[in-house]
Structure formats: C-alpha cells, structure tokens
Amino acid sequence: MGSVSTSCVVAVTTLLLLLLALGASGQLQVGFYSKSCPSAESTVASVVRGFSDSDSAILPALLRLQFHDCFVRGCDASVLIKGGNNNAEVDNAKHQGLRGLDVIDSAKAQLESQCPGVVSCADIVVLAARDAVAFTGGASFDVPTGRRDGKVSNMRDGDVLPDVHDSAQVLRSKFAASGLDDKDLVLLSSAHTVGTTACFFMQDRLYKYPLPGGGLGSDPSIPAGFLAELKSRCAPGDFNTRVPLDRGSERLFDTSILRNIRNGYAVIASDAALYNDTSTVDVVDSYSGLLSTIFGPYFRQDFAESMVKMGSIGVVTGTNGEVRKLCGKFN
Ligand code: HEM
C-alpha cells in the first residue's frame, strides 16, 4: 500500500512538473491571438500598408528586420531595444541600415490601445515581415504566433549575423547553427528579390577584391558590362547610394533574383557566393532553371515555409520573457 501511494505521489508530481514545463515553454500556433486580441493580425497589416503607401521601400526593410531579429538570440525582438550607447544589440555594425522599427512601434501602440499587454513585439516583427512578402507579390501565408519578448539585448550578440563577405561554406554553417539547411539559405537569401543595398556593402567587391595574381581590384566573376554598370552607380568611397539587389526587378517578389545569381548578376558578394558551392548551386538551379516554373519546386510556397522555419528560431514562449509595453524598452 505504502509503495502504491509513493508511486502515486511520484506520478502526480511528474505530471505537475510536466504541466508547469509546458506552461513555461508554450507553443507557437496559427491564430494565437484569435480570442485574446482578434484584431492583432489585421492591425499589423493595416499599419504596414499605411507606411508602405507613402514609402514602398519600407516593405523590404521589414522583411530584413525579421532576419536580423531571428538570427540573433532567436525571434525575441531583442533587436528592437533602443541603442545609442554601444550596449544594445542594435548598435552592432552588422545591423547597419536596419529600418522599419518605427513601423513596429506604431503597430505596437495601436495594439496596446486595443488589447493592452497581449501582443508581443516579436510577433509583430514576424507578422509585418509576412505582410511585406504578400504586399510585394509573394505568397500570402499563415504564420504561427505566441512569441514573447526577450529580456536581453547585448551589442556583441549581433556578431553572429552572416556577413556580406562570408563564403558559401560560412553562410551554410551560420544558417545550420540556427537550424536552417542549404535550401533555407538559398530561399531566404532570395528575399533579396526586393529591396536595395547601400554601396557601402559593395565597395570591397568593386574596388578592393583580392586578385588571384596579387593586388586589389574588382571581383573577376562579375561580367564586364555589369561591373561597369555597378561601378557607375557606386563610385569609390560612396557608401550611401542605394542599388537594387535584384537587377531589373527590385519591387516584385519573384524568382528573378535566382536567375540573376545564376547568370552572374548578383549584386552583393553573399548572393554571388551561393553559386560557388555545389550544394547551394543545385538549389539555385532547381528554382531558376528554364522549366522550373512548370516542373520545379514551388518557389513562393517554399519561401513561405522557410520564413516560418526562420520565425521559430529560439522563440520565447509560455510564461518566459515578457510582453513589452514599448518595443524599444524592457518593461
Ligand atoms: C545570407 C545572409 C545574408 C546577408 C549576408 C545579407 C546581407 C544584406 C545586405 C548587405 C543588405 C543591404 C543592407 C542595406 O544596405 O540596407 C541586405 C538587404 C536586404 N536583406 Fe539581406 N542578407 C542575408 C540574408 C537575408 C535574409 C535571410 C533575408 C530575409 C529573409 C534578407 C532580406 C533582405 C532584404 C529584404 C533586404 C533589402 C532591405 C532594404 O531594401 O531596406 N537578407 N542584406
């Protein structure tokens, strides 16, 4: 009898611990706010739409913002914590040129008045990126929500972000460290189908590329005509002029970026690198070949799947973290 009641206590305790653990960890789910804040997703969409009506360049910026949030400490809105004193994550140079934080702040302000303390900044980032994809012509897709906001923001944490000069092998290993495979790397880099880069990120490729015979020059893999075009847009020392990442199709979410990469028309070095490694070449080819639109894997849908995957990196859920009142400040 004694041993029966002991095993009962053990079983009940184990069950309680399990329930506590589940409560603390929670899970992402599509429509997480359907009861607690039914207007959450439509409010984010209307704020994104409002901003993009006056500046359509905000859409690519919002897509990039999810990448920069999720790769550093997971999708926990750590990148939104206000910087300025070289101690916040956003102060890291790897986040250079990041924009769209005001869009997230604006959506947050509206949601705080509709449902105070309910919708996390981390979810707003992911919803806004999802809307940015749809509003530029990509797929409309469901994203699971239920993230909470992290309580840590360190400048040095941003060091883990991929660099524009990383080789395909380094890019692959940085993605793998976040649970993303070669297919995700190519698909997510295809986000460069929209938006622009500052000439800052091309200076080395155009003027300081280490040449095989010694000395510095231009990346020899760039076709001559395209090199002249890029040089005419980005003079030596010009850091600020912006150039489309997807030559000829920077406003539309399509596979043109992959054809450009395939044909040597990648604008930044990290995109060009994807055609220098057999495993990523195969993925690029599978989405950009002549018949890929008919027989190939379905780019728009696969991109959406990779976004959902990226959106689940290191999420804070359940009773962990917090729901910030202001996205730029811990509670
Ligand atoms: C593979 C590693 C990646 C590298 C090295 C990289 C690098 C860059 C660089 C240097 C820029 C130009 C930034 C500027 O001048 O404002 C940029 C822009 C952009 N990136 Fe990436 N990126 C990578 C992956 C991604 C991923 C995974 C996404 C999203 C899924 C993404 C989305 C974007 C978008 C949409 C822009 C245009 C931003 C704008 O127009 O404001 N990138 N990226």
Q: What is the pLDDT of residues 124-183, one digit of tens each?
A: 999 999 999 999 999 999 999 999 999 999 999 999 999 999 999 999 999 999 999 999
Q: Is residue 189 over pLDDT 70?
A: yes
* Rounded-to-integer distance, Cα 78 and Cα 151, Å: 7
Q: Look at residues 127, 160, 193 and tell me which one is the last residue of a structural domain.
A: 160
In a domain, 24, yes or no: no
Residue-level pLDDT at 67 = 98
> Where is 145: in which H helix or E strand?
strand 144-145
Residue 295: pLDDT band with limits 50, 70, 90 = low
Note the helical H segments in the chain. Answer: 2-25, 40-54, 58-70, 101-114, 121-135, 168-177, 182-189, 203-207, 224-233, 256-262, 269-273, 278-288, 292-295, 299-310
Nearest CA to 266 among 180, 326, 169, 193? 193
Q: Do 229 and 281 belong to one domain?
A: yes
Active site residues: 68
Q: Is residue 24 over pLDDT 70?
A: no
* Rounded-to-integer distance, Cα 170 and Cα 262, Å: 20
In a domain, 331, yes or no: no
In a domain, 321, yes or no: no
Query: Cα of 298 to ligand 1 centre, how many Å?
Result: 22
Q: Is residue 35 over pLDDT 80?
A: yes
In sequence order, the β-bridge partners of residue 322 are 149
Which residue's CA lies nearest to atom 3 of ligand 1? 162
Q: What is the pLDDT of residues 62-103, one digit of tens each?
A: 999 999 999 999 999 999 999 988 899 999 999 999 999 999
Q: Do 176 and 232 belong to one domain?
A: yes
Q: Do 151 and 176 belong to one domain?
A: no
**Residue 144, φ and ψ in degrees, nearest 5:** -65, 145
Q: Do 186 and 215 belong to one domain?
A: yes
C-alpha 86, offset from chain centre: 23
Q: Which domain does 285 fall in, by range?
A: 168-310
Q: Do 203 and 233 belong to one domain?
A: yes
Q: Do 155 and 193 belong to one domain?
A: no
Average pLDDT over residues 206-220: 94
Q: Do 181 and 299 belong to one domain?
A: yes
Query: Cα of 189 to ligand 1 centre, how many Å?
Result: 7
Residue-level pLDDT at 69 = 98
Q: Is the CB of residue 243 below 6 angstroms from any atom belonging to ligand 1?
A: no
Q: Do 196 and 305 belong to one domain?
A: yes
In a domain, 203, yes or no: yes
Q: Is the CB of residue 195 below 6 angstroms from any atom belonging to ligand 1?
A: yes
In a domain, 84, yes or no: yes
Residue-level pLDDT at 16 = 43
Q: Is the CB of residue 188 below 6 angstroms from any atom belonging to ligand 1?
A: yes
Q: Is the CB of residue 175 below 6 angstroms from any atom belonging to ligand 1?
A: no
Average pLDDT over residues 245-252: 94
Residue-level pLDDT at 84 = 87
CATH code at position 238: 1.10.420.10
For residue 322, give both structure tokens. Answer: 């917090």
Query: Cα of 190 to ligand 1 centre, how many Å?
Result: 9
Q: Is residue 18 over pLDDT 50?
A: no
Q: Is residue 21 over pLDDT 80?
A: no
In a domain, 2, yes or no: no
- Which whole-number Å values give the CA distances from 187 to 82, 287, 305, in the listed order? 30, 9, 9
Q: Do 223 and 202 belong to one domain?
A: yes
Q: Is the CB of residue 64 below 6 angstroms from any atom belonging to ligand 1?
A: yes
Is residue 325 classed exposed, middle or buried when 0-12, 13-18 and 19+ CB atoms within 10 A define those classes? middle
Angle 101-114/121-135 helices, nearest 10 degrees? Answer: 120
Q: Do 174 and 306 belong to one domain?
A: yes
In a domain, 271, yes or no: yes
Q: Is residue 231 over pLDDT 70?
A: yes
Q: Is the CB of residue 61 below 6 angstroms from any atom belonging to ligand 1?
A: yes
In a domain, 42, yes or no: yes
Residue-level pLDDT at 130 = 98
Number of domains in the chain: 2
Mean pLDDT score of the chain, rounded to an integer?
92
Nearest CA to 127 among 34, 24, 40? 40
* Atom number of ligand 1 nearest to Cα 195: 40
CATH code at position 145: 1.10.520.10
Q: Do 215 and 253 belong to one domain?
A: yes
Q: Is residue 277 over pLDDT 70?
A: yes
No. of H helices and E strands in the chain?
Answer: 14, 6
Residue-level pLDDT at 8 = 46
In the chain, % of residues over pLDDT 90: 87
Eight-class DSSP state of 199: G
Which residue's CA lies nearest to atom 27 of ligand 1? 188
Residue-level pLDDT at 22 = 42
In sequence order, the β-bridge partners of residue 144 are 30
Q: Is residue 4 over pLDDT 60?
A: no
Q: Do 53 and 74 belong to one domain?
A: yes
